[in-house]
Amino acid sequence: MIIGVPKEIKNNERRVPIIPFGVEDLTKSGHQIIIQSQAGIGSGFTDDKYIAAGAKVIDTAEKIFEQSDIIIKVKEPQPEEVRLIKEGQIVFTYFHFSANEDLTNNMLDTQSIAIAYETVQNSNGQLPLLIPMSEVAGRMAVQNGAKCLEGNMGGKGKLLSGVPGVEPATVTILGGGVVGSNAAKLAAGLGGKVYIVDINPERLKYLDDIMPANVFTLYSNKHTITELLPKTDLLIGGVLQVGAKAPKIVTRDMLSLMQKGSVIVDVAVDQGGCVETCKPTTHAEPTYEVDGIIHYCVTNMPGSVPYTSTIALANATYPYIKKIVNNGCIPALKQDRSLRYGLNIYKGKITHSAVANTFDMDYAFPDEVAN
């Protein structure tokens, strides 16, 4: 197969979906990798490194899309990229369709095959291609939230850790999954008083066993959250429903319960956000204020640490890329149930129920892919 790697063009996105090791390994298997010039430079990988590994460097994205059987990316195709996608072409990347109806309709029109990193799901219900970026985002949520609490950022001027004689900040985390547990680890390590709320009792028991003494677990319901919000300095949203929009856990009315200068970091923004007042922001202008509450809702948070994020993502995605190109798309989907969960659109049809339900569209899984 010819594997195309265009340079990411989403605002402030510096990651790349494959590292030189992957290029070298795929080249040995007889595949051709064409990569757009400077695609890896933001993550520390020069064109020379890719050339040495066996890739062919091409100047324009148009030529990449034109020549490739499969396109691998990090972020969802931007409008100018969607126009380049060919009928039957495989596109393997993060899509988050449920948060973007225009992208969904435009990808349906291309008659391509869209496999989404975020819905690849193994037999244990885990999301192996979302986990590494969720780990990064969970830790960065605390890092960025702590910065936003500073007075010069509009926050209440509270140090997350406190100091002897002054209490630490209170951090409330919505969701005890990968984002939530990683956020809790970092917030607790910095000395904050941390609450994790979740609707899964078994998950809460597990977190209660492994977390340090300054982390407290609570069952998530409206009463619990309304009790926590008045004392919360930093609220982190880490709620996920696979392939679907995030539920609105904190409404606009509930915002009035928080003290002025408190901070919200909604990691679920890629799926529409779990805070009603959430709207996507960029690294250039990451925050805005609603009712005196600072909101940090950057959609590609891991993109600001591209070296770490690229390697973590490539380590996870590479086995699936290799399976697709070595076996062919249809055989790979038939053989690997986890990969089948990742199939969101197949030649003009939605193939993931969560996406279909979000937009009240028809859902059909193609016979030729079913095992």
Q: Which of 69, 198, 233, 270 is catalytic?
A: 270
86 DSSP assignment: P
Taking Cα atoms as reference points, which of 150, 139, 240, 248 lies closest to residue 186? Answer: 139
Distance, in Å, from the CA atom of 50 to the CA atom of 103, rounded to the nearest integer, reads: 30
What is the arrangement of strands in the sheet containing 90-93, beginning at the earlier edge strand? Answer: 56-58, 32-36, 2-5, 70-72, 90-93, 113-116, 343-346, 349-350
Q: Which helix (H) or strand (E) holds 164?
A: none
The token pair at 277 is 């007042």
Coil, helix or strand at residue 103: helix
The token pair at 96 is 């988050």
Kindly give, in sequence order, each residue whose CB lies less than 8 Å from that of residue 65, ignoring residues fewer than 6 positions away.
4, 6, 71, 81, 84, 85, 86, 89
Distance, in Å, from the CA atom of 41 to the CA atom of 274, rounded to the nearest integer, reads: 34
Active site residue 25: no
Q: Which of 96, 266, 336, 352 is catalytic?
A: 96
Active site residue 270: yes
Catalytic residues: 96, 270
